[in-house]
């Protein structure tokens, strides 16, 4: 392989999912950009724009490497549900998500020499079911909601607790591996 691959993410889920499709060594170098300063034209494009800036940041420092970056956002009625700051926020988000359609967007980019050479904004739609106050409180006690957009990881639930209406489970996890694999094949990375 002529160029190394960098995953510009500190997410253990993204590392695990990338290992499913990419059999070679890759480095992990997360970007430390200030996401709050990034402007985007719509909430649906927020993850796409943030991901772009992360990739641009790392690719400008490692021009000889392919850089893969991704970001995920959860929307209900067009409004962003970010990562909860405390138990109260997590509870409110999970109560709002119960039996409501969520749009989960994951924007990803592949950079080389400081330029994006592949980009996608992947959409999944999902409904969480049966989130009683007791289940929500139990889930919050695990600590899992606090590093995830929308206060949950789909992998933390059993398949009877959600319905995927569109898109993939992996995209809801924050890393659309089928679309990434397609782009890797186009770029002869696989």
Catalytic residue among 27, 34, 64, 71: 71
Q: Is 12 helix (H, G, I), strand (E, B) or coil?
A: helix
**Residue 10, phi then psi, degrees to nearest 5:** -100, 5
Give the Cα separation of 176 and 180 in Å (integer).
6
Question: How many other C-beta atoms can be found within 10 angstroms of the C-beta atom of residue 83?
Answer: 15
Handedness of CA 141, 76, 124, 158 (dihedral sign): positive
Q: Contact 177/132 with Cβ under 8 angstroms?
A: no
Tokens of 98: 């119960």
Identify the residue whose tokens are 């034209």: 41
76 has which bridge partners? 79
Active-site annotation holds for 71? yes
Alpha helices for the chain (secondary structure H):
12-21, 46-61, 87-97, 133-141, 169-173, 177-186
Tokens of 145: 């909601």
Q: Which residues are part of the catalytic machinery?
A: 71
């Amino acid at each position: 392989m002529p160029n190394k691959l960098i995953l510009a993410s500190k997410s253990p889920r993204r590392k695990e999912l990338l290992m499913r499709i990419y059999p070679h060594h890759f480095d992990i170098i997360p970007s430390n950009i200030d996401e709050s300063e990034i402007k985007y034209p719509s909430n649906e494009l927020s993850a796409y724009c943030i991901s772009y800036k992360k990739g641009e940041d790392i690719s400008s420092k490692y021009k000889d490497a392919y850089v893969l970056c991704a970001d995920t956002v959860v929307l209900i009625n067009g409004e962003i549900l970010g990562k909860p700051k405390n138990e109260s926020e997590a509870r409110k988000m999970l109560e709002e998500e119960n039996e409501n359609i969520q749009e989960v967007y994951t924007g990803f980019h592949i950079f080389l020499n400081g330029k994006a050479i592949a980009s996608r904004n992947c959409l999944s739609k999902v409904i969480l079911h049966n989130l009683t106050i007791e289940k929500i409180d139990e889930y919050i006690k695990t600590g899992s909601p606090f590093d995830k957009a929308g206060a949950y990881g789909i992998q933390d639930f059993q398949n009877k607790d959600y319905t995927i209406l569109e898109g993939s489970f992996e995209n809801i996890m924050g890393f659309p591996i089928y679309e990434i694999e397609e782009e890797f094949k186009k770029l002869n990375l696989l």
